[in-house]
Structure 1
Amino acid sequence: MTTHSAFIDTPTLPLNPETKLLAAFKNDTHPDKVYLAGREYLGEDGQISVLPLTWKIKQQIGSDPTLGTEYPPGLGLPEFTRRVTELALGKDSQAIVENRVLGVQTVGFMGGVRLGTELLRRWYNRSVAWSGPVYVALPCHDSLVDTLKAAGILDVRQYRYWNAEQRVVSMDKLTEDLEQAPEHSVVMLSASAHCPTGADLSQQDWSALAEVMASRRLLPFFLLPAQGLCLGDPDQDAWPLRHYASLGLEFLCAQSFSHSFSLYGMTAMFSRSLQRFNNLSASVCK
């Protein structure tokens, strides 16, 4: 009997440049080959290097008799989400004091992006069929656009971010593009450690951008993947979030500790000031 798979016509994603480069590296037989495009820190043995503090904590967790094996709560570990929310916004943040912030623990950084996107698809602007536009930086990481489209965002647009000739952030073009964006557009913004350029906005730029976002009624979706590793100060790296929260602007934020502590659980934060998000079980800053 001949059978046909139910998934015979399932499309596959094309390989991104990084994956192609890694494949070429593995196929290269040169004895002195060196791969410089990896994201992980590897030791001389070729294995991922684990920070001593992280290793010590993992050992403590494994030997702690008070830790059970029951399922964690649906939104993640409350103590964890509370602490990382405080790390992002500051313990004295008015939004936290007034209980307007909610943290949700997800699997991986893009898990937070996906969860935030799913929230937007179902509830943003009181719509059950919202599908964009969402603006991403040009350039940005390939997986960001793929994640948005996989979540059902049909309208993904780009704003100009990088001036390749002068090798600086193109603040004038960035502002021009967002000033022309339709109201209620969502804008993906790197709070720090912009990928792939590594170039970030200054505090003056963030302040000017906040005025554009507010006047155009745009919703920021911050990406915070390496807090503390950019300027050497977690407070400085999170300054854009704290500034926007102080202005009463609502926003979403995907926060990750994969780079800083090799921890692949993170939180998705959602900042709000309007009643339309009252019934959401997500992370909220009003």
Structure 2
Amino acid sequence: MKDKVCSDFVFMPLKGDQRVPPMATGGVPVAAAGGAAVVETDSTEVKSKIVVVGDCECGKTTLIHRYVKSKFQETYTPTGFDTYSGSYNVSDTYTIHMSIWDTSGDTGYDRVRPLSYSDADLVIICFSISNPESMENVVSKWHPEVREHCPTQPIMLVGCKADIRSEVKNLPPSTPRPNLVSYDQGLKTAKHIGALVYSETSAKTSQRSVNDVMEVAALSSAGTSGTGAAPAAANASAGEGANSFGRQRSFIRRKRFSGLSDAKAQLRKEAAKSCVVM
């Protein structure tokens, strides 16, 4: 049945740290982590695993904290491996439960970090706009590592600490300017590695930029493990809804975007065509 209010499709940013419940609303267990799971209720719920990688101190953990907790992390704390959970409501009848894996960029973890890639639905590679070397490492280290363990999963490239550019502009004329990564350089790198989306964020000054990245990541990751692949565990209408969702989102894995506004506009357009009541 077609949704009578397709125009109400909205992108709602996550507020707070919402943990994924072990059981769905109707008392039906959710499938194992890493696989897309359809729940047999009047609404559909999908599980998605997103892995975040990049150099040490490039802004990975701050990005995740800003999204999950809506707070900016002032002090740098080295990360080993942490996992965060959040729910993203695509519509009143469709929810994506994200498992966000934060990894360490330290070389000491090079042998164990690959364990994080298991069952990943999407990988976000981060670099710091204030550190050109971290962007170079995207090509020389992170992209090869990701493709070795996730050969087909979509990748997003995110430049963190975009607020640094504004700070540099406000420096006195006599102050030496640091070497920063330009937007065009970041975009060129994203195209070189075949990234799905390139975006720049500032966890310090822009909650919206962080929300935009995670919203598109959630939508792009849903279905990459075969959304609707477990229809036996769901009723016929829920299975059809899951397949429809996968079809709606498949285009984003075929087209690269230089900015999130284009991606979100396309997602809204696709949703308006075929949003479905589960």
TM-score clears 0.5? no
Report the structure number with the largest CA radius of gyration: 1
Under a length normalisation based on structure 2, what TM-score does the superposition of the two structures give?
0.37
Under a length normalisation based on structure 1, what TM-score does the superposition of the two structures give?
0.36
Higher RCO (CA < 8 A, seq sep 6+): 2
